[in-house]
Amino acid sequence: MSVHELGVAYEIKVRTERDAWRRRKVKETEFRVWDWLVDGKSFNAMVHAGSGTSVLLDLDYPIRTWQLAVLLGEGESKDPRFGMPDGRVVLMHCECGDPNCSAMTADLIMTAETVAWRRIGWQVAYEDFDAPDSGYHPIEPSLDLVFSRLQYEQVLRDLLNVE
């Protein structure tokens, strides 16, 4: 079993929106797109997630604290507002943060020494990961990741303090 090192990085993106009433008026908003780093490599690139997919929302929403608590094994992964009905944890989601839009999820397995993300794949909140004909399944080739629990928890606890 290979133990990986978890990290996190972000880049600044610009979202362009048109004013609902004055269609010619354009508003540009900067936001951070977060990505997990696994042994220094982009998790987003490893799973071919796309440029609008983020680890955390760059907003002061309860989803951010909830998601980190769940990844630490301290929260309720089946929360109907943000979670998956089968208890899988959300690793990444689109920038809207809606788990019905789609999310990269995994089975979270924690031991005294390690944390594992197993059966990583795309899922939506209104279907169980293993539901027949859901169209959501583990990514190919199969990707399971194991981290040192001490190092993993430090990264996530540091993220709880990011503003």
- What domains lie within the chain, and their CATH numbers? 6-160 (3.30.2450)
Q: At what angle do helices 149-160 and 62-71 cross, to 10 degrees?
A: 170
Give, for all 163 residues of the chain, the pLDDT tens digit. 799 999 998 878 777 777 777 777 888 878 777 889 999 998 888 887 665 566 666 555 567 788 888 899 987 766 666 667 788 888 887 766 666 677 888 999 999 999 999 998 888 766 666 665 655 566 677 789 999 999 999 999 998 887 6
Residue 134: the pLDDT is 59
Q: How far apart are CA 154 and CA 124, in angstroms?
A: 29
Q: How far apart are CA 147 and CA 141, in angstroms?
A: 19
Residue 38: the pLDDT is 96
32, 80, 144 from 47: Cα distances, Å: 19, 26, 11
Q: How far apart are CA 147 and CA 40, in angstroms?
A: 13
Residue 25: the pLDDT is 80
Residue 72: the pLDDT is 93
pTM: 0.80
Max CA pair span of the chain: 57
Residue 14: the pLDDT is 78
